[in-house]
Chains A and B, each alone.
Chain A
Amino acid sequence: AQSVTQLGSHVSVSEGALVLLRCNYSSSVPPYLFWYVQYPNQGLQLLLKYTTGATLVKGINGFEAEFKKSETSFHLTKPSAHMSDAAEYFCAVSLLTGGGNKLTFGTGTQLKVEL
């Protein structure tokens, strides 16, 4: 079984400050890991994903995430927050199984960016 835990349902940062959104996963086999962003009343937009290879993954809008197997983590970071980054962020995991590779999402982290 796979699961995702996102620590902190709400994170608030100042504009220009570092953004760090935490995600830990649980899986019995090597996972594929994803971060999605959801703006108010909109759908899910893929920020970045880890499948294999390089553990530091760069995504859109200046975000990146590092897969750390020893810590079972896939934290999302951005060096300098912008007001437009305010949104809800979901971490998700998928396993290579025979069941269609469903995505399992975390509970989400609402990012607030203040002036």
Chain B
Amino acid sequence: EPEVTQTPSHQVTQMGQEVILRCVPISNHLYFYWYRQILGQKVEFLVSFYNNEISEKSEIFDDQFSVERPDGSNFTLKIRSTKLEDSAMYFCASRGQDHYGYTFGSGTRLTVV
């Protein structure tokens, strides 16, 4: 069964550093998403991406965050200057033409120290 692949599985970074979280969505999917889950809390929507542009973003997704699909296969989330409160599990998801066929990756656990 096709999978969404996220790398790395764990990342530790110093406060103020830039991080890039990488995702390879399912190849024929068209819609791409990032979600995050702070430890012990619910999964929160960050951003959705379609046709090479952001289609929706949450209030969490401020100017420190950006997304890119640089080469038609990878989908990246960049945090420019990490803060302690950015420590969370980040999930990538993708979806095809149907409106409910979401597939999630296994997540990247980001720890900011």
Contact = CB atoms under 8 A, between A and B. Distances in A.
Interface residues of B, number: 23
Interface string A72-115: 00000000000000000010101010111111111110000000
Contacts of A99: 48, 55-56
Contact of B99 (A36, A42, A46, A94): A94
Contact of B91 (A44, A51, A102): A44
A28 B62 CA distance: 27
Interface string B34-50: 01000001111100111
Interface in B84-113: 91, 93, 95, 99-100, 102, 104-107
Contacts of A96: 99
Given A43-B107, A100-B55, A94 B100 contact: yes
Contact of B95 (A36, A51, A101, A105): A101
Interface string A45-61: 01001010000000000
A100 B51 CA distance: 11
A105 B43 contact: yes
A26 B44 CA distance: 17
B42 A100 contact: no
Interface residues of A, number: 24
Given A90-B43, A108-B42, A102 B56 contact: yes
A32 B101 CA distance: 10
B26 to A, nearest CB: 14
B33 interface: yes
Contacts of B48: 99-102
B31 interface: yes
Nearest to A110: B40
A34 B42 CA distance: 15
Interface of A: 32, 34, 36, 42-44, 46, 49, 51, 90, 92, 94, 96, 98-108
Given A44-B104, A102-B33, 7 more contacts: A51-B99, A94-B100, A94-B102, A100-B48, A101-B48, A101-B95, A107-B41
